[in-house]
């Protein structure tokens, strides 16, 4: 009956309209579960931090002897404390730039073909082919590069040097005759093989970006009378621009860190080799891997310092690339992949 009201015995007046926080009690098993997962997430951060820490601590002991001259010395003599990355770093960048110059057009063209032009039946096979290219271990590419590709491509690089030698970076100083050894271990050849490693990185990411172009805009272009190429040029490419830039930065990170291919092909020199068709070049990763065997404790510290620089550069490039991709219209739709 309406009159039998149970008296309110709470401390607050019953019509006090205050918000209350709703707390879902977590069961004990779930507390443990979430704790374990949180520990795993923190462990990932800790591992990255440890990498930075260890490289820093071990590398600093070498840097103490050399100081800031580490960034301006061009040689690597551990005993006399004259070592630095002033020539390692530009040589690394030269090889990475050559690889990117070849890889970017090839990868974008392949990605456009797969996402826009290929018949539907071929699409899965072509995507699998690009993924297979990404899965090839770099040591197999290095084997192929040094045993097969190097011999075959010398003709091309000597042709370039002979006929385009007026462009300064293609000129090759020939000591006496034009021996093949003037051309075999050049940054050009290393860059061409590294580009085979970079192409799948850029192509698979670009393909995902291009396939996210909105269908409405595509159909609008067709409705206005555009051909397929016109639609690609006006809708797909501008949409995917930021995603492609991000993919390029990820490819750059990959090219900067490539060790084995460069180690196999290049003969290490310590001058900044601007003549890309001539033998001689270097890269930080290849130098570290190559020198490691014979390095004493001080040498290992110096190599760790060089590795730290490489790690910092690769980290910056990759994080920038991820940020560019995630903030773009095309990348945000490509669910963090």
Partner 1 sequence: MTTAVTPDTATTGPEGPTPAEVTPPERRVRIRQVTREGALTLAGAAGGALGLVWVLYERVLPFTGALGFWVSWYVAFLLLYAAMAGLQWDPLAVRDRVAWVALGAAGLLSCAAVFDVVGYVLYRGWLAVRHVNFFTDSMAFAGPLSPLTKGGALHAMIGSLEQIGLATLFAVPLGVAAALFMAEVGGSWARPVRTVVTAMTALPDVIAGLFIFALAILTLGMQQSGLAASLALAVTMMPIVARASEVVIRIVPGTLREASYALGASQWRTAWNVILPTARAGLATAIVLAMARGIGETAPVLLTAGFTKELNLNPVHGPQVSLPLYIFNYAHTEAVNQNIVERAFGAGFTLAVVVLVLFTAARLLGGRTPGELTRRQRRRITREAAGG
The encoded tokens of residue 157 equal 């690089």
Cβ closest to partner 1, residue 55 vs residue 94 = 55
Question: Contact letters (x/-) for partner 1, 175-204, by CB under 8 A?
Answer: ---------------------x--x---x-
Angle at 184 between CA 179 and CA 189, to 5 degrees: 140
Q: Enter the tokens of residue 315.
A: 């980290």
Binding partner 1 (rule: CB under 8 A), the pick from 66, 93, 97, 126 is 126
Name the minimum Å distance from CB 8 to partner 1.
32
How far apart, in Å, are the Cα atoms of 50 and each of 45, 231, 308, 309? 9, 49, 12, 15
- The reply on whether position 332 binds partner 1 by CB under 8 A is no
84-123: which residues touch partner 1 (CB under 8 A)? 105-106, 109-110, 112-114, 116-118
- Least gap, CB of 32 to partner 1 (angstroms): 8
The residue within the footprint of partner 1, chosen from 71, 75, 101, 147 (CB under 8 A), is 147
296 makes contact with partner 1 (CB under 8 A): no
Q: Is 295 in the site for partner 1 (CB under 8 A)?
A: no
Using the contact rule CB under 8 A, the part of the chain among 60-68, 235-243, 271-279, 288-296 near partner 1 is 288-296
Residue with structure tokens 């385009």? 164
DSSP per position, 92-161: HHHHHHHHHHHHHHHHHHHHHIIIIIS-HHHHHHHHHHHHHHHHS-HHHHHHHIIIIIHHHHHHHHHHHH
138 — alpha (psi -120 to 50), left (phi > 0) or beta? alpha
- For the bound state, the minimum distance from the C-beta of residue 199 to partner 1, rounded and expressed in Å, comes to 6
| 314 forms part of the interface with partner 1 (CB under 8 A) | yes
In whole angstroms, the minimum distance from the beta carbon of 12 to partner 1 comes to 31
| Alpha carbons within 13 A on the beta-carbon side of 71 | 5
CB of 212 to partner 1, least distance (A): 15
CA–CA separation, 337 and 327 (whole Å): 13
Element (H, E) at 77: strand 76-77
The token pair that represents 146 in the structure block: 């040094």
Stretch that binds partner 1, among 3-11, 13-21, 176-184, 253-261 (CB under 8 A): 253-261
Which position among 60, 101, 132, 179 is part of the footprint of partner 1 (CB under 8 A)? 132
Q: How far is the CB of 140 from partner 1 (least distance, A)?
A: 5
Sign of CA dihedral 336, 324, 256, 304: negative
Q: Are the beta carbons of 273 and 262 closer than 8 angstroms?
A: no
Q: Is 45 in the site for partner 1 (CB under 8 A)?
A: yes
Distance of closest approach, residue 95 Cβ to partner 1, in angstroms: 13
Q: Would you count residue 258 as binding partner 1 (CB under 8 A)?
A: yes
Query: What is d(CA 191, CA 258) in angstroms, rounded to the nearest whole number?
Result: 10
Return the residues of window 229-248 that contact partner 1 according to CB under 8 A: 229-230, 232
Q: Binding to partner 1 by residue 130, rule CB under 8 A? A: yes
Sole binder of partner 1 in the list 63, 98, 202, 285 (CB under 8 A):
285
């Amino acid at each position: 009956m309406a009159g039998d009201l149970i008296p309110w015995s709470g401390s607050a007046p019953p019509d006090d309209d205050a918000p209350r926080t709703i707390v879902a009690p977590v069961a004990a098993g779930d507390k443990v579960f979430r704790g374990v997962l949180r520990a795993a997430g923190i462990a990932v951060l800790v591992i990255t931090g440890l990498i930075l820490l260890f490289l820093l601590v071990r590398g600093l002991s070498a840097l103490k002897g050399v100081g800031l001259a580490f960034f301006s010395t061009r040689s690597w003599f551990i005993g006399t404390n004259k070592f630095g990355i002033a020539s390692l770093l530009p040589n690394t960048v030269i090889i990475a730039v050559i690889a990117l110059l070849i890889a970017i057009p090839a990868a974008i063209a392949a990605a456009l073909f797969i996402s826009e032009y290929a018949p539907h039946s071929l699409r899965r096979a072509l995507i699998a082919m690009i993924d297979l290219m990404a899965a090839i271990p770099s040591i197999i590419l290095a084997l192929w590069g040094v045993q097969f590709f190097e011999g075959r491509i010398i003709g091309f690089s000597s042709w370039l040097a002979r006929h385009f030698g007026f462009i300064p970076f293609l000129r090759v100083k020939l000591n006496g005759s034009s021996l093949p050894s003037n051309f075999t271990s050049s940054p050009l050849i290393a860059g061409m093989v590294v580009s085979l490693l970079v192409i799948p990185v850029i192509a698979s990411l670009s393909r995902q970006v291009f396939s996210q172009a909105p269908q409405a805009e595509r159909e609008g272009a067709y409705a206005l009378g555009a051909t397929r190429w016109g639609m690609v040029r006006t809708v797909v490419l501008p949409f995917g621009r930021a995603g492609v830039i991000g993919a390029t930065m990820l490819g750059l990170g990959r090219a900067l860190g490539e060790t084995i291919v460069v180690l196999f092909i290049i003969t290490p020199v310590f001058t900044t080799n601007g003549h890309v068709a001539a033998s001689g070049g270097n890269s930080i990763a290849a130098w570290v891997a190559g020198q490691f065997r014979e390095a004493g404790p001080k040498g290992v510290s110096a190599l760790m310092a060089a590795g730290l620089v490489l790690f910092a550069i690769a980290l910056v490039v990759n994080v920038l690339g991820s940020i560019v991709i995630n903030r773009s219209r095309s990348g945000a739709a490509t669910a963090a992949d």
